[in-house]
Structure 1
């Protein structure tokens, strides 16, 4: 097979997000709930008849050697996980980068999955996630956590425990069918119309955590508690209480870092609450991207947000994680 297809899902954080950064979990341990959704990063990898590396993403590169590749994830992944002749790789995604749903982590997972298939080597979801984390966190020194890579590799709605030694425990949530249907119906995603750099926002958290800043650590401890509580409420099917906890999460996250929100996002959130939403949060680091809300009257919220110019992104949860040709 000369053309390899791979895809990796994006995600929405459901509680505890931010405690997956090494600057926090290496000292205190992290915990969060997150779900993969049916929005993806896709790649087509052509393995034969290529004289040069040809990479097509938001830009296009054509080079002779991997060291000459500008895109840092492409460069480092190919240097470490590919030993064959040059490749042509084309990338597309369902949502723009910088919108808070883990696109960078999904991109890295999708690429390593493709390279494993091209080398005819199997790879577990755990190894796939760890190799992606190694590139982004250890090699490129990006101030990001492990959530995006793990959720994209595993899929489903899971609890992730980040141990102080760097290992990660993955536990699928025990959700009954009625709870899952209500989550699908009442959780809504709206685009704020703004993309942002997660690295800039997360760098502030990393700096404060590394300096043992009392306010930052107290905020993250509270965030982790909300992760545990989110699991309890979701597994109990108490979605009204979960929606209210989302509002607490919003208020706590607003206090964490400058630039997490702005007047436009605050207006959208207030509008969503007035339309019957119990709570909501910006998915990802904040500063823009997508607003996730728990709506008691979904149609009323859709109408209010549409009038404000906030486009809905319909979604469902997905349970396969990163896949390629062998899984189709």
Structure 2
């Protein structure tokens, strides 16, 4: 084996996002709906004739041992999942980091998938997701949840139940073909032009939840309930009611933490609503990234958002999850 190709999908949260953080589900249990999309993190991993570790992402590193790697996910994942000779790994992605689609979780999943292939070991989607969660949540102590890793590992449109003991149930939604086609045609993604780190927003949520801040806990209770309602509406095909619930979800979410939204994002969302969108929300923790809307008149919304300088990211749902292959 010499070269391994791996890829892991990004995601859009469809209801209940934010209840996948241990600070909440550890006491109350979490529940959300999320869909993997056909936008990916990609890696090429070269395993032979390498004298030093050479890592190429937004920066380039070349070191002698894993402990010298600056990139925290690369460093801790290689230390725990690789015992062979030095590697060369190159990373590219379909969207920039910090845009709310779970790129950090997909990055970790993609890397562990590549190292499993390099080790000639099979790994289930559940084990892959948990291994990625261990790196980000337990080793690096990032204020993130389990959604991104699980969606990237499994693919599809699924309901995720996060139990207080840390276990996760994954259930594929039973969505009819006609409903899937309408979702694909009417859900639109637009880039707000603002990338951001989710850490500050999520850290605020974690600290307030751990401190039993009643306002935050009640907000997350409502968010979880919306996740349950989202599943019901998607499975019965009532997409107009689902879109209206998206709007309710966004109004609830924007109250959660400082920095969740801003004048530019609010202006884009108002513009989308005036063009015929029944509902929408920022994908991810908030503060920037991509705006997801359900458009009754997609072409009208596209024209309005293009005039405002918001670029569309066409997408479809994907159902394979993380995958990889090797070339000798």
1:275: Cα distance to partner? 0.2
Residue aligning to 2:235: 235
2:320 paired residue number: 320
- Secondary structure (helix, strand or coil) at the match of 1:312 reads coil
2:186 aligned residue? 186
Instruction: Report the alpha carbon displacement of residue 71 of structure 1 after superposing the two structures with TM.
Output: 0.1
Aligned to 2:285, the other structure's residue is in SS state coil
User: What is the CA–CA distance in structure 1 between the aligned matches of 2:202 and 2:292, rounded to whole Å?
Assistant: 19
| Alpha-carbon distance in structure 1 between the residues aligned to 2:296 and 2:157 | 21
1:126 equivalent to 2:116? Answer no
Mapping 1:56-95, distance limit 5 Å: 56-95=56-95
Q: How far is the alpha carbon of 1:283 from its aligned partner?
A: 0.3
Q: Aligned residue for 1:271?
A: 271
In structure 1, distance between residues paired with 2:250 and 2:217: 17
Deviation at 1:267, TM superposition (A): 0.1
What secondary structure, in the 3-state scheme, does the structure 1 residue paired with 2:67 have? helix
Structure 2 residue 168 is the aligned partner of structure 1 residue 168: yes
Partner of 2:34: 34
CA distance in 1, matches of 2:209, 2:166: 16
Runs of 4+ in 1 over 4 A off after TM superposition: none
Aligned-pair CA distance for 1:40 = 0.1
**2: distance between equivalents of 1:190 and 1:92?**
21
Which TM-score applies when normalising by structure 2? 0.99
Equivalence map 1:204-215=2 (5 Å): 204-215=204-215
Aligned to 1:309: 309
Task: For 1:64 and 1:95, locate their aligned partners in 2 and report how far apart those are by CA, in whole Å.
Answer: 30
How far residue 25 of structure 1 moved from its aligned partner, in angstroms, is 0.2
Confirm or deny that 1:17 pairs with 2:55. no
Instruction: Say which SS state the counterpart of residue 97 (structure 1) adopts.
Output: coil
Query: Which residue in the other structure is 2:48 paired with?
Result: 48
Residue 251 (structure 1) aligns with: 251
Q: Quote the RMSD (CA, aligned, Å).
A: 0.8
Q: Work out the CA distance in 2 between the residues paired with 1:227 and 1:199.
A: 23
Deviation at 1:168, TM superposition (A): 0.2
SS in 2 for 1:115: helix
CA drift at 1:205: 0.2
Mind listing any 5+ residue stretches in structure 1 that lack a counterpart?
none
Within a 5 Å distance, the mapping from 1:211-226 to structure 2 comes to 211-226=211-226
TM-score for the superposition, normalised by structure 1: 0.99
How far has the Cα of 1:233 moved from its partner? 0.1
2:190 and 2:75 map into 1 onto residues whose CA distance is 33
Per-residue CA shift, 1:88-124, capped at 9, x if unaligned?
0000000000000000000000000000000000000
What is the alpha-carbon distance in structure 1 between the residues aligned to residue 316 and residue 10 of structure 2?
A: 11
2:147 is aligned with 1:147: yes
Separation in 1, partners of 2:24, 2:197: 20
2:300: which partner in 1? 300
